[in-house]
Amino acid sequence: MTKFKNDVEALDALRDKFKELHSEITKVIYGQDEIVTQVLITLFSRGHCLLIGVPGLAKTLLVTTISKVVGLKYNRIQFTPDLMPSDIIGTEILDKDRQFKFVQGPLFANIILADEINRTPPKTQSALLEAMQERAVTAAGQHFELDRPFFVLATQNPIEQEGTYPLPEAQLDRFMFSIWLDYPRFADELLIVKNTTSTLRFDLKTVITGEEIEFFQELVRKVPVNDNVLHYAVKLAAKTRPFTEHAAEVANQYLKWGAGPRASQYLVLGAKTHAALRGKYSPDIEDVQAVAAAILRHRIIKNYKAEAENITVDEIIAKLL
């Protein structure tokens, strides 16, 4: 790996790597530039990401494309109602020498696609979420460290809720970003259909290594933050908590629960990464605002009044900002 003279030079290299990654991914993923950026912010922030969207919006293709350009070990887990924790963690088997041997499950990879995470029961969801938090698993009384970097992208279908197991808010809090994918614009959809119904193929190149990703993840945490930006991020999270000291009027009116301290942490960390990827050496308030919706939307719970008036979470966040 390239050695850098100082952190400024390293941050410049991170910005260049981001541009290269973004360019390579968008060869395959059309019309989702902002989504690609948010996923890469999550990766360099050492977070995990929840992608929510109706079928056919290239959620799975996005993850497989990212795995190709970062050159890391990738596993896809299709979540189903009969999936057990041992199916993803691994299990013990009796080998030919009559000795118990642990066989690793699909969680032992760098990038995990948890496809349709809300289709599996809570105990299997919890096994994944524990691994996300601890970056390790316990099986058969033994502790196993997971590969580094470890990055989980879970997908969730917002329709067809019959027979699903929605993630509780406390478990949703483990995801740094909750990203909503919308239908592509008409011009983008024309391009998608044209290119995916022909023989056109793109040979994606590996842009970054796991060692470089870990280096840049540590680098992001070294980025300095001014006190006014730190204060703004913490105050923004506090404003979501109804009937508390710093609660905003919109929170008192439309929210049942607000975001916890993890939201404040991710607002600062996300702002650092957002700034670094844009060539800035310290985040400002605009960087906090840029990541706020994806960080807050799965951490605040609407009350009955908001439901009755058909007020969306994103509308509430916009008022908070």
HEC per residue, 174-187: CCCEEEECCCCCHH
Mean pLDDT across 147-159: 84
177, β-bridge pairs: 49
Query: Could you tell me which residues come within 8 angstroms of residue 261 by beta carbon, excluding any fewer than 6 positions away?
Result: 237
Checking if the pLDDT of 101 tops 70, the result is yes
- What's the rounded Cα separation, in Å, for the pair 263 and 177? 10
Virtual torsion, Cα 165, 168, 173, 179, nearest 10 deg: 40
Q: In the structure, what pLDDT confidence band is assigned to residue 272 with cuts at 50, 70 and 90? A: very high
Q: How far is CA 86 from CA 76, 82, 117, 151, 288, in A?
A: 15, 11, 16, 20, 39
* In the chain, domain spans: 7-211, 223-320
Name the average pLDDT for the chain: 86
DSSP letters spanning 45-67? TT--EEEE--TTSSHHHHHHHHH
Question: What was the pLDDT predicted at 159?
Answer: 66
Predicted local confidence at residue 2, as pLDDT: 67
Band of pLDDT at residue 264, cut at 50, 70 and 90: very high
Q: What percent of the chain has pLDDT over 90?
A: 31
Between CA 23 and CA 19 the distance in angstroms is 6
- Given the structure tokens 């009755």, which residue do they identify? 308
pLDDT in tens, 156-168: 877 666 657 777 7
How many other C-beta atoms can be found within 10 angstroms of the C-beta atom of residue 295? 28
Q: Are 294 and 259 in contact (CB under 8 A)?
A: no
**Which of 53-57, 125-129, 288-292 holds the top average pLDDT?**
288-292
- Residue 313 CB-half CA count within 13 A: 19
Q: Averaged over 98-102, what is the pLDDT?
A: 78
Specify whether the backbone of 114 is left (phi greater than 0), alpha (psi in -120 to 50) or beta: beta
pLDDT tens-digit readout, 55-83: 777 777 888 888 888 888 889 998 888 88
pTM: 0.89
CB 305 within 8 A of CB 253: yes
Name the percent of the chain lying above pLDDT 70: 97
Q: What is the pLDDT of residue 265?
A: 94
Tokens 């989980």 belong to which residue?
152
CA distances from 201 to 33, 196, 198, 204, 311 (A): 20, 9, 9, 9, 43
CATH topology of domain 7-211: Rossmann fold (3.40.50)
Strand partners, 43: none
**Structure tokens that stand for 319 in this block:** 């008022």
- Which CATH architecture does the domain made up of 223-320 adopt? Orthogonal Bundle (1.10)
Which residue has 């941050």 as its token pair?
11
